[in-house]
Structure 1
């Protein structure tokens, strides 16, 4: 499995990303993630939709929670042809609890906890931390990556405006 050091930092310290890099123009790799312990969704289930993959280390941190809230707020205005998925390595229980407490209804909240398939296929698994790197991908209706941001410093928020612009241009 490929390893890339220094692409991202956590509190200023470089960390190693494990997995294959997904680039602009690539067909997004299919993956399975979980809404519940045995409630799986596959990216291929979204065929024909524009998809936002909002990725974060853990919903139990201030920046990750803000990221989920921001995309939840924007998701309604994007319409039914846009699917917004929030992916972390948090357990489905924690994601469900947070979503219920925060009224997250417009984003599908998913866990990559079982086998890190998403993290490794997208090159986002942070080896030293056992978490996913904060990032955003926008996929057009054909499943091509039209926006890609891997946030350099994990304590910073993603470029919401850039992602939303890519979504609107893909509709």
Structure 2
């Protein structure tokens, strides 16, 4: 298991860590309109999955904006931002932000994504910060678990992986 801290406090991480070369686990999350979304809904496409603790924090906001901008340079990639924020909060944030490329998805209901990817912070019921790139064959080609949940991920490495997978 990956060791994750939140504000330098060690967290208990639940779920199964995924690695490069693994088949991407399926999951079930909620879109802003409360419809269910799974990995299969974007099959045959490259996915950059940006995982954040909460959209209402500065680092999470910056991460979501950065990957939204990157879509322009990467091209044919779906950017999915997943957190345990309620779909209503995600929708409000999206409306205020003016971002048009990123899809915000909520793992609040079942923690299906967080458990499948080894990201549930048990003490906080939040997801750890991470970035995955899944190719069009549903293989994980990039996996970054950010060891301190309040730090930024390596944006450039994730963007390069998405470009190569495209």
Which residue of 2 is the match for residue 63 of structure 1?
59
Matched, 1:115 2:118: no
Partner of 2:11: 15
The one-character-per-residue Cα deviations of 1:39-68 (angstroms, maximum 9, x if unpaired) are 111111111111111000000111111111
Counterpart-to-counterpart distance in 2, 1:78 and 1:40: 26
Counterpart mapping for 1:90-105 below 5 A: 90-105=85-100
Other-structure match for 2:21: 25
TM-score scaled by length of structure 2: 0.96
Moved more, 28-37 or 135-144: 28-37
Secondary structure, counterpart of 2:148 in structure 1: coil
What secondary structure, in the 3-state scheme, does the structure 2 residue paired with 1:105 have? coil
| Partner Cα distance (1:134, 1:74) in 2 | 18
Unpaired segments of 5 or more residues in structure 1? Answer: none
Aligned counterparts of 1:133 and 1:113: Cα–Cα separation in 2:
13
Q: Which residue of 2 aligns with 1:162?
A: 157
SS in 2 for 1:87: strand
2:32–2:104 CA contact under 8 A, matched in 1: no
Number of residue pairs the alignment of both structures matches: 166
Q: Which residue of the other structure, out of 115, 137, 143, is the alignment partner of 2:132?
A: 137
CA distance in 2, matches of 1:101, 1:163: 26
For the residue of structure 2 that corresponds to 1:166, the secondary structure is helix
Mapped to 2, the partners of 1:29 and 1:162 lie a distance apart of: 22
Query: Which has a greater percent of strand?
Result: 1
The equivalent of 1:51 in structure 2 is: 47
2:81 matched residue in structure 1: 86
Q: State the match for 1:73 in structure 2.
A: 69
Instruction: Give the deviation of 1:17 after TM superposition.
Output: 0.7
Deviations 1:20-56 (A, max 9, x none): 1111100000111111353111111111111111000
